[in-house]
């Protein structure tokens, strides 16, 4: 049976790499898919991974009816065996409903990839709707790591190297450059709660998580 599958994880855990791997595996077997992406780091109409892999995609812009787009492709003689949707957290809830309709009415597999929560630890509307509708939710097993070495579970936004917890939900930045004007970093819950990023911890400084013990 076709499925709507939501692959979720923090930033920098290999979501886009997996999306490209699924595309490679299926296309090498003669299947043909449609790839949608939104606000990719490589620019409009691209799906890219941090490993340097990139492919063309349809930009899932606000207002684009994804179901109608697939129906139009099929009615014009195009072959569509599956859909891959990257950065799905940025989609509107109604676009997630359209993906579910692709599965139910057109009987196509849909593989959606995205992060669940924003820098404020609040659910993205697109991710919330995916959690509500997905046939299956897969948490990626490639663990991103906090600067302290613990498993990273939270996404943090930094402005000039310092963590912020207020602002627009979507602002373009780079997880590879947290010291830039607007950057992103993955943290464990403890250091997200304490707003301690790699840029605010002095090398060799005693962490407030470690309390000195008297002899």
Same domain? 95 vs 151: no
Provide the domain count of the chain: 2
pLDDT tier at 206, thresholds 50, 70, 90: very low
The active-site residue, picked from 23, 73, 87, 138, is 87
Cβ proximity of 26 and 81 under 8 Å: yes
User: Domain end: 118, 139, 160, which one?
Assistant: 139
Same domain? 33 vs 117: yes
Mean pLDDT (whole number) for 88-100? 97
- Predicted TM-score (pTM) of the model is 0.74
149-174 tens-digit pLDDT: 888 878 888 887 788 887 776 665 55
209 found inside a domain: no
From the list 82, 76, 171, 77, the residue with the least C-alpha distance to 118 is: 171
Query: Computed over its alpha carbons, how large is the radius of gyration of the chain?
Result: 19
8 pairs with which residues across the strands? 114, 139
Q: Which domain holds residue 96?
A: 4-139
User: Domain end: 109, 139, 169, which one?
Assistant: 139
**Which of 69-78, 105-114, 205-214 has the weakest average pLDDT?**
205-214
Domain of 102: which CATH number? Answer: 3.40.50.300
100-133 tens-digit pLDDT: 999 999 999 999 999 888 888 889 999 999 999 9
210 found inside a domain: no
Same domain? 119 vs 172: no
Is 87 an active-site residue? yes
Same domain? 93 vs 176: no
Q: What SS3 state is found at 104?
A: helix
206 found inside a domain: no
Q: What is the pLDDT of residue 33?
A: 95
- For residues 98 and 143, which has the higher predicted lDDT (pLDDT)? 98
């Amino acid at each position: 049976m076709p499925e709507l599958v939501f692959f979720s994880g923090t930033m920098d855990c290999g979501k886009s790499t997996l999306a490209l791997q699924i595309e490679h595996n299926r296309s090498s077997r003669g299947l043909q898919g449609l790839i949608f992406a939104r606000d990719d780091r490589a620019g409009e109409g691209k799906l890219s991974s941090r490993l340097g892999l990139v492919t063309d995609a349809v930009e899932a812009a606000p207002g684009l009816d994804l179901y109608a787009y697939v129906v139009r492709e099929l009615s014009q003689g195009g072959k569509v065996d599956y859909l891959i949707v990257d950065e799905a957290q940025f989609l509107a809830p109604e676009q997630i409903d359209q993906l579910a309709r692709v599965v139910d009415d057109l009987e196509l597999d849909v593989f959606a990839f995205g992060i669940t929560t924003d820098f404020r630890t609040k659910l993205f509307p697109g991710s919330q709707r995916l959690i509500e509708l997905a046939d299956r939710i897969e948490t990626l097993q490639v663990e991103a790591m906090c600067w302290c070495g613990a498993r990273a579970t939270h996404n943090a936004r930094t402005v000039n190297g310092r963590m912020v917890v207020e602002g627009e939900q979507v602002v373009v930045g780079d997880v590879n450059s947290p010291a830039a004007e607007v950057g992103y970093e993955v943290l464990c819950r403890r250091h997200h709660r304490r707003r301690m990023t790699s840029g605010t911890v002095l090398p060799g400084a005693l962490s407030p998580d470690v309390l000195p013990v008297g002899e």
